[in-house]
Copies of this chain bind each other. A is one copy, B any other.
Amino acid sequence: MLDPEGNTTKRSLELLGYNNVNQVRVGKKIFLEIDGSSKEQVIEDVDKMCRKLLANPVIHNYEIRVD
């Protein structure tokens, strides 16, 4: 998976003198405080939110965790 931000960050770290960095991957973490009738309902809602707005399935992998 392409990660332009990760590659740019790696090059910037190298320019700052950090040559011990083998790889950089950048992801986004979204915390949602959400009401739902059940854990399953919340997961279903959030999955739809991901496909509609929060993630671009073409270039992003996403994972849903319910605490």
Given contacts A9-B54, A13-B53, contact A29 B28 (CB under 8 A): yes
Whether A34 lies near B12 (C-beta < 8 A) is no
Q: How large is the interface on A (under 10, 10 to 19, 20 to 34, 35 or more residues)?
A: 20 to 34
In the complex, whether A67 has a CB less than 8 A from a CB of chain B is no
Taking a contact as CB atoms under 8 Å apart, the answer to whether A53 and B12 are in contact is yes
Q: List which A8-53 residues lie within 8 A (CB) of chain B.
A: 9, 12-13, 16, 18, 20-36, 45, 49, 52-53
Chain B residues with CB below 8 A from A54, complex form: 9
* Complex-state Cα separation, A49 to B16, whole angstroms: 9
Q: Which A residues are closer than 8 A to B by beta carbons?
A: 6, 9, 12-13, 16, 18, 20-36, 45, 49, 52-54
